[in-house]
Structures are given as structure tokens and as C-alpha cells.
Homo-oligomer: A and B are copies of this chain.
Amino acid sequence: MNIGDFARLGPVSPRMLRHYDQLGLLQPEDVDSTTGYRSYSVRQLPRLHRILALRDLGIGLNEISTVLQDNPSVEELRGMLRLRRAQLEDTIAAERDQLARVEAHLRAIERNIEMPSTNVVIKKSQPIRIAEMFAVAPGAGPANIGPIFGALNPQIIERLGKAGLRPGMCVGYYDEAQDDGSIGVHVGFEIGDQEIDTDDTLKITELPVVDVASAVYEGPIDEISSWYEQLYSWVEDSGRDATGSARELYLEWHDDAPAKNVTEIQIPIS
């Protein structure tokens, strides 16, 4: 029986039979030494069917060749099927999550225009070591927060300068709001592994690595609060929980050209 006839019985393509031959999964009963023609016997059909049945379960050809090797022990087969079951359960769960995210994006499109939801990324925050000062703002929003940055920034810069440190990127993070609406505001500058004496006003903090929803905002800082709202509702809508203190990374800052500022907002999620 030549390869075409056997393939029709399979039913598979001749190419597949050559592939299985090459892998040693199913070798022809005979190969003509001059023409290279493969010939098969119907008695090889059960083996081909076993291969197809396992492949149909999504098991890889390498695994299949292990199971079909000499001793097709029932235990081994059972183990492989259980493994495959677990794999499938995992990938189905992962794809369901992905589907939920796709649907969240579709809903987000209906709602907002300013912040494209495709700007949001779930990632791990970078570990950052900063020298920070602290103050309490009477409430949220740029009108309350802005002055605090205005007051603390120069003080920190001065302290770092006196100690001979070069400040890196500016970073802010916020404690969760109190009942009276007031918010603890931390302002700091990245210092890498440089050291500085600390006291009641200046502290060194290593911001922890956590999972965050991150959005990068380009433009003047006063318009940032609507992004916060949208980012929070995106997080909620995608079935996650916002938890802990939000961070702002001032990736690029121009006192004179606020439209060119680039700010990253990070909201920790669980």
C-alpha cells in the first residue's frame, strides 16, 4: 500500500505521514531502497489512529511518541491525560480572563474619550529608592496637591544638593484619604544607591515592587485628575481591586512647557 492509499485511510495527508516517519512516530513497513517509495500495511492503521486520537486531545507529537514507545503502560497514559487536563483547565481559565479584559476594553470605549483604555498596562512597578518629604493636603485634586509639590520640591533639592547628591526623577505617592478628605502626600526624588543623612523631615524610602495598573499621561499636570478617575474605573471594570497608595512618576518635566510633561500614574492592584 503506497503512502497515498494509506493516507486516505487515515485520513491524513501524505505530508503528515512523512512527518511522522521522520519523527520515528510511525515508520513505513518498507521503503524501496532505489525509489525511496514508502509502503504501509493496514496493520499500521491502529497505530496511526492512536496518534490521531492523542493529537486530537492537544497532546504534542513528542509526548505521543513517549507513550507509544514499546510499553504503552496504562499508568503512563493516564498520567499524560491528567497532565493535559490540568493544562487545558489553565489555558481555558487564562483565556476567560483575557476575554473579560477584551470586554472591559469594549465597555471602556463606550464610556471615555480622553484616556484611551489601550493606554493602560498591568505591570510590576519598578523598585525605586527615593529621598522624600511629607505633608498633608486638605483634599484631592491639583488645587490641593500642587502647592505641596511647590513647597517641598525646592527643600528636597536643596538638601540633596548640600549633601552632594544628584537627584533623579521626581516621584509622588499618596496615602489613602482620611475621613475628613485630607490626604498624606509624599514627594521625593530618586537617589539610586546614594546615601544621605535622614531626619524628621527627610526620609529614605524604597517603594515596593507591586502589581500596578499604569497609564502614561502627556500634558499639563492640572488635567491629571480626570485620568485618575478613568484609571480607577477601568481597574474596577476589569474585575480587579485598587489597593494601597497610588504613585506618580514625573518621567519628564518642563517648567516652561507643561504640554510636554510626561507623567506615569500607577495604581496598585491586587
Interface residues of A (CB under 8 A from B): 8-11, 41-43, 45-46, 49-50, 52-54, 56-58, 72, 74, 77-78, 81-82, 84-85, 88-89, 91-92, 95-96, 98-99, 101-103, 105-106, 109, 116-124, 126, 214-216, 218, 251-252, 260, 262, 264
Interface pair A102/B118, CB less than 8 Å apart = no
Q: For A102, what are the chain B residues with a Cβ–Cβ distance below 8 Å?
A: 57, 81, 84-85, 88
23 intermolecular pairs with C-beta atoms under 8 Å apart:
A9-B126, A42-B252, A43-B218, A49-B119, A49-B120, A49-B215, A50-B118, A53-B121, A54-B118, A56-B98, A56-B121, A56-B122, A57-B98, A57-B105, A77-B109, A77-B118, A78-B109, A81-B106, A82-B106, A84-B102, A85-B103, A92-B95, A92-B99
Q: For A8, what are the chain B residues with a Cβ–Cβ distance below 8 Å?
A: 126
Interface pair B88/A99, CB less than 8 Å apart = yes
Closest 8 CB pairs of A and B: A42-B251, A46-B216, A88-B99, A49-B121, A53-B118, A50-B118, A45-B216, A42-B262
Q: For A88, what are the chain B residues with a Cβ–Cβ distance below 8 Å?
A: 95, 98-99, 102
Q: Which single residue of chain B is at the shortest CB-CB distance from A100?
A: B88
Q: For A105, what are the chain B residues with a Cβ–Cβ distance below 8 Å?
A: 57, 81
A2 to chain B, nearest CB (A): 15
Please report the C-alpha to C-alpha distance between residue A84 and residue B100 in the assembled complex, in whole angstroms. 11
Please report the C-alpha to C-alpha distance between residue A218 and residue B46 in the assembled complex, in whole angstroms. 8
Quick one: given A92-B95, A95-B88, A126-B8, are A264 and B45 in contact (CB under 8 Å)? yes
Interface pair B95/A91, CB less than 8 Å apart = yes
Given contacts A46-B218, A74-B109, 19 further A-B contacts (CB under 8 A): A8-B126, A9-B126, A42-B252, A45-B264, A49-B120, A50-B116, A52-B121, A53-B118, A53-B121, A56-B121, A56-B122, A57-B105, A81-B106, A82-B106, A85-B102, A85-B106, A88-B102, A92-B92, A92-B99
